[in-house]
Amino acid sequence: MPENRKMMTNLRQGSRPQVVVLAYDGLCTFEFGVAVEIFGLPRPEMGENWYRFAVASVDEGELRATGGIRILTDGDLSLLERADLIVVPGWRGLDAPVPDALCEALRQANARGCRVLSICSGVFVLAAAGLLDGRRATTHWRYIDALKQRFAAVEVVEDVLYQDEGDVLTSAGSAAGIDLCLHVIRRDYGTEAANQVARRLVIPPHRDGSQTQQLSRPVAQLRESQRMGQLFDFLHQNLAQPHSVETLARRVGMSERTFLRRFQDATGTTPARWLLNERLLRAKDYLENSRLSIDSIAEQTGFSQSATLRHHFRLHYSLSPAQYRRQFAEFKAKKTAI
């Protein structure tokens, strides 16, 4: 899935992006917390142009959240009129109607260029507003069938972590919302910014949106977990080196068949695809933060030659490495000038 269809064009020139997260009676606490942690936490290390943040109430009166929490908000749905990104953190129930006023506010915001993002069951709010008609979307695997049945105009994508349609973004279960929010930061501010936020959260910096939701064995046995963790550390430190299933299996003391099964269990993908994704991310980091030549970046990220790097970069991001570097430099210059 191309990550940068409208690369770095979502930020309004001359202003810090305004993120507004919805709060409603029956609020999903974890999903709401994800939005607050990613976009609402003060991050002075990110500079003066980081996101602004506000919470908008969908309902009047006291708002209750899962776990007995009571919520005070910054305002009502009028806050959506000034939003650059709206986050819908789940919804209070699949059978709970979505207020007409909320649907209209979301439609108007999206029509003027505001991005709208849902986490988990929040996709039903976007679908009710008609924002997903004729577009691809995903949600938690438990809700896939309900989404298909209730909104036939939506092209439901099963078993992915998130789906990016440019101005409308949807995620799977709660934790996948973290991956989608980091994806947004990566689009807005670049790979290193997303990595900084991930490091502060003490989570992996990137899980590809197409990664499967349902891992057949998500919790490995202790010994296997330690060996696989050491392997990932080794691969991150040696991305430039060639790797084969045979050599990696030997490194963790497994047969090739067992290794492939355990790797799939741990990551939801194959070693080859995992390595390609990590090499592309490393290449983007070099393009953003170094003056290395394209040839040198290709060599240091395991692509061997620049032609191979260009091929995969265009395939995944619809840009050449040189175009990506130029667009990022222009974006960074504008951000510094603000």
**pLDDT tens string 155-189:** 999 878 899 999 999 999 878 899 999 999 988 88
**Higher-confidence residue: 207 or 101?**
101
Q: How far apart are the first and last CA of the chain?
A: 31
Q: Is 120 tagged catalytic?
A: yes
d(CA 34, CA 45): 20
Mean pLDDT over residues 15-33, rounded?
A: 94
Please report the pLDDT score of residue 225 as a whole number.
54
Please report the pLDDT score of residue 219 as a whole number.
39
Band the pLDDT of 248: cuts 50, 70, 90: very high
Residue ranges in 152-244 assigned as alpha helix (H): 174-189, 191-201, 222-237
The CATH class for the domain spanning 18-201 reads: alpha beta
Cβ contact 19:87 at 8 Å: yes
The string of pLDDT tens digits covering residues 64-106 is: 998 999 999 999 999 999 999 999 999 999 999 999 999 999 9
Contacts of 331 by beta carbon, 8 Å cutoff, 6+ apart: 8, 11, 190
Which of 103-107, 259-263, 300-304 shows the highest mean pLDDT? 103-107
Please report the pLDDT score of residue 336 as a whole number.
56
* Kind and range of the H or E run holding 138: none
d(CA 289, CA 82): 32
Least confident of 5-14, 181-190, 286-295: 5-14
Instruction: Read off the tokens for 120.
Output: 């988990």
Please state whether beta strands 18-23 and 85-89 pair in parallel, antiparallel, or not at all (unpaired): parallel
- Say whether pLDDT at 12 is over 50: no
d(CA 12, CA 99): 29
Catalytic choice (28, 103, 114, 120): 120
As a CATH number, domain 273-337 is: 1.10.10.60
d(CA 157, CA 137): 6
The reported pTM is 0.67
d(CA 178, CA 201): 10
Please report the pLDDT score of residue 99 as a whole number.
97
